[in-house]
Structures are given as structure tokens and as C-alpha cells.
Amino acid sequence: MSSKKLLVLFITFLLTVSLITSCSSNNTSSTSQTPSKNEVVTITYSTGKDSTPATKKLVEAFEKKYPNIKVKVQELPNSTDEQHNTYVTALSAGDSSIDVLAMDVIWTPEFAAANWLLPLDDKFTEEMRSKMLPGPVEAVTYNGHVWAVPRFTDAGVLYYRKDIISTPPQTWDELIQMAKENVGKEGTKYGIVFQGNQYEGLVCDALELIYSNGGSVIEGNKVTIDTPQAIAGLQYLIDLVKIAPPGVTTYQEEDARNVFQQGEAIFMRNWPYAWSLLNSDDSPVKGKVGIAPIPRGKDGKEGSPVLGGWNLGINKYSKHPEEAWKFIEFVTSEEGQKITALEGGNLPTLKSLYQDKEVLAKNPYWADFYDVFITAKPRPVSPFYPQMSDSMQINFHKALTGEITAEQTIKNVAKDLSEILAKSGK
Ligand code: GLC
């Protein structure tokens, strides 16, 4: 071979090596680094702190089934807002260290529009979707694509002390009256606990009262919150502060649960997960808790829980999308969702599990509540939801702490939401 030919070959070799290296270090590439047969791949699953054994059990069951995939759980703070901020920082910087992320239902439009997720249309097939509840499936769909798989759904519920209250209230007025009449019984100190901190949980509690009093927030692309029904709905929340612990304006889900579980409150607004913890062996209120649908306000036709829930998506920058998918497929399968239902007390998104004997034995109320759960009402669906939520969080919290009236609060929110919609071109 001539020296010239050798040189050309050498340069070609160098170019090829540099191309391969640059491809594999380019973290915008989502190509899986397929492991050899016995190689163990570790994926990182990022999720909020779990007070139940569910996450641990799911990972154990998955690793047993897929010995070649290890799951590292990256635990984030409990609050959805803090989790959201962690993801926004990481994903907007192209961070590839997270493979699977647990996503709140409210994030799909924002994350999809920002192009941070792998579309899952081919993996989460039509057939799989048809076995799930329609609301959660709709919540992972945006712009004609599916971006995540629903892991569990959520809907607000009312917990009450059945050793004190024989029939749960149908309306919020009844609830307030019952609380005032019965506080002090069985060592209780407060009428109700709920989520009054300035964060997403407060938005859920407030919207639940607004919806349950016949109000709405946005319809189509019109802001519809400025109505007497919404103002009166929010007024209930302000009135609840008077029968709640002084610290309620700083409470998140777990603060409320702890106070209720210690036997200090008659009522609690929370999500279904609390049920299994309230009935655990070391719980002071074990066997003393009843559960009822969210009451309605005086102007409302029916109590209307807010739709919550969590989905699993794949970071677009993940280096292990295939292994990440295997994990999602398992966690959202019947086997995985059963673990979540039994160990975590979270509502399945698979319709079949609402007929599963073991699941119903542990969560007996699910069969009766099915109709209520599936009508849970979403929060506004928009890539600009974080801005909308910020305005609601700030204003609702000011209302709770007595800085502004319910009427002023609703006016402020209506103005902010109209501006956000106008800016977003809607
Ligand atoms: C629950 C819900 C979630 C909601 C959050 C608010 O985790 O599932 O959708 O945003 O509570 O704190």
C-alpha cells in the first residue's frame, strides 16, 4: 500500500472514531446503548418521596423479573412544585442522568411542548390505552401524541371519624355545622384539616370547592372563574380555616394526614393514598375512619373532586430508553398497578383492577366510588399551567390568611389567567 493510501486510511479511521465518540457523548441522542447479553444496566427512576412501601416493592419485583436491569431511585421532595422545579432545571439543561420520571398529570402539556420527553405512541399502544380509564389517558395525550403512561389516578376525597359522625355530610354547610357541634369528642381538637400551604395542593383544594359550588376556571379559551358561584366556593375554604388548626395555612398532604392520624381532627380532605396509612397497625385512628365523596356547596349540584394522578415518562435524553420502557411497562401493568394499589393505596388506571378481589378487600370503598372517581375534574390543561397555578397559589393563599376577600381573589386570578391566555396566543 502506498504511503498516500495509508494516510487516507488513517485519516478515515480517525474521523470514524471521532464520529462514534461524539455520537455517544452527544446527550441529545436517545439511541439506546444496547448492553451485551449479561451486562447489567442501571436506570434512574426519579420520583417524589413515598410514605408507603409501594416504590420499594415495585422496584424489588421489577428487578426480580429483569435481573439485567437495576433501578436506582432518586427520591425528590414530597411536594409536586419542588419536583417540578427540579425537572425544569435538569431537563432544560439536557441532563441525561434521569431515565424515568414520575410526572404529575398537570405537567404533560408543558413537558411535551418543551420537547423534554420521548413520545410513546408506538410503545403505549391503542390496545393498552383502551384498558385504562379515559381521563388519565387523555391527560398524557398532547398535540396528538402520548407522552407518558398513567401510573395511578387521584381524586380528592373526604375522610371523617366514623366513631363521631354517623352519616357523612352531603354539603359543605352541613360539614361546618357538624364540625362545630362535635369538636372535642373522642379527644378531637379541630373540625377539619386540609392543604392550605401556598403550593399546588392548595390549588386542588380551592378548585374542588369552586367546582363543587357550580364554578369553573377556564372553558374553551375563555376565563370563566369570575362568577358568584366561584366566589362563594372559595369563601367555604376561608370559612374552613376557622375550624382548622392554626397552622393549616402551611399544611401539605402529609401534615394534614399526620394531624388526622393522631386523632386530632374530625374531617380531612386528602387523596386516596391516606386510607392505607390511616388503617395501618400503628395508626391511632385505625378502624375509626370513614370515607365519603367531596360534599357540594349550596349553589352546586354535586361534589366535584379534582383530578390528580401520576404518570411515567422517559427523559428524551435518557441513554437507556429501552430499559426505561421495560420499567414503565412493568409498573403500569396489572401486576405493577396491583402492587401500587395494595401497598400504596393509589387508585389504579387499569379498569380491571376495580374488580380485583384482593384490591377491593384492601380498599373496600373503591367499588362504590368508581363513578365519582371517573368524573374527577381536571385543572386547566395548558403548557402555561405553571404560570396559572402560580397566580392561583398566591391569591388563594392570601385569601386564606385574610389578606384579601374571596371576591378580590377571584378578580385577581381572572385577570392573571386572561393575561396568560392572551400571551399564549389563545
Ligand atoms: C397529588 C395529586 C397531584 C397533585 C398534588 C398536589 O399528588 O396526585 O395531581 O398535583 O397532589 O399536591
- Among the ranges given (30-39, 53-62, 293-302, 340-349), the one the predictor scored with the smallest mean pLDDT: 30-39
Question: Under a CB-based contact definition with an 8 Å cutoff, are residues 80 and 48 in contact?
Answer: yes
* Among protein residues, the one whose CA lies closest to atom 11 of ligand 1: 201
Region for residue 368 given its phi and psi (left: phi exceeds 0; alpha: psi -120 to 50; beta: otherwise): alpha
Quick one: average pLDDT of 139-155? 97
* Domains delineated in the chain: 41-154+308-374 (3.40.190.10), 157-305+384-424 (3.40.190.10)
Instruction: Tell which atom from ligand 1 comes closest to the C-alpha of 309.
Output: 8
| Helix (H/G/I), strand (E/B), else coil: 211 | helix
pLDDT average, residue stretch 327-352: 97
Q: Using a 6 Å cutoff on CB, does residue 204 contact ligand 1?
A: yes
Q: Which helix (H) or strand (E) holds 311?
A: strand 307-314
Gap between the terminal Cα atoms of the chain: 67
Compute the C-alpha angle 411/416/421, nearest 5°. 125
Q: Residue 34: which pLDDT band, with cuts at 50, 70 and 90?
A: low
Q: Work out whether strand 265-270 and strand 190-193 pair parallel, antiparallel, or are unpaired.
A: parallel
Pairing state of beta strands 41-48 and 100-104?
A: parallel
Tell which atom from ligand 1 comes closest to the C-alpha of 307.
9
Q: Residue of the nearest CA to atom 9 in ligand 1?
A: 308
- Ligand 1 centroid – CA 203 distance (Å): 10
User: What mean pLDDT is predicted for residues 105-128?
Assistant: 98
Reply yes or no on whether the pLDDT at 367 is more than 60: yes
Any atom of ligand 1 within 6 Å of the Cβ of 323: no
Q: Is 196 in the pocket of ligand 1 (CB under 6 A)?
A: no
Report whether pLDDT(245) > 80.
Answer: yes
User: Hey, what amino acid is at 64?
Assistant: K
The answer to whether 257 and 278 have CB atoms below 8 angstroms apart is yes
Residue of minimum CA distance from atom 5 in ligand 1 = 201
CA of 201 to the centre of ligand 1 (A): 6
Is the predicted pLDDT of residue 7 greater than 90, yes or no?
no
Residue 219's contacts (CB-CB under 8 Å, 6 or more residues apart) are none
Look-up: residue for cell 401497598? 343
Question: Residue with the nearest Cα to atom 2 of ligand 1?
Answer: 308
Stretch 226-245: mean pLDDT? 98
Cα 169 to Cα 18: distance, rounded to the nearest angstrom:
70
Atom of ligand 1 nearest to the CA of 204: 6
Radius of gyration of the chain (CA): 24
Q: Is 80 in the pocket of ligand 1 (CB under 6 A)?
A: yes
CA distance 99 to 317: 8
The SS3 of residue 114 is coil
Q: Which of 200, 205, 388 to mutate to test the pocket of ligand 1 (most atoms within 8 A of CB)?
A: 200
Q: Report whether residue 306 contacts ligand 1, using a CB cutoff of 6 Å.
A: no
pLDDT at 35: 56
Whole-angstrom distance, CA of residue 216 vs CA of residue 414: 11
Question: What is the residue-averaged pLDDT of the chain?
Answer: 92
Nearest residue (by CA) to ligand 1, atom 1, is: 308
The pTM (predicted TM-score) of the whole model is 0.90
Mean pLDDT of 288-307: 97
Question: Which atom of ligand 1 is least distant from the CA of 105?
Answer: 9
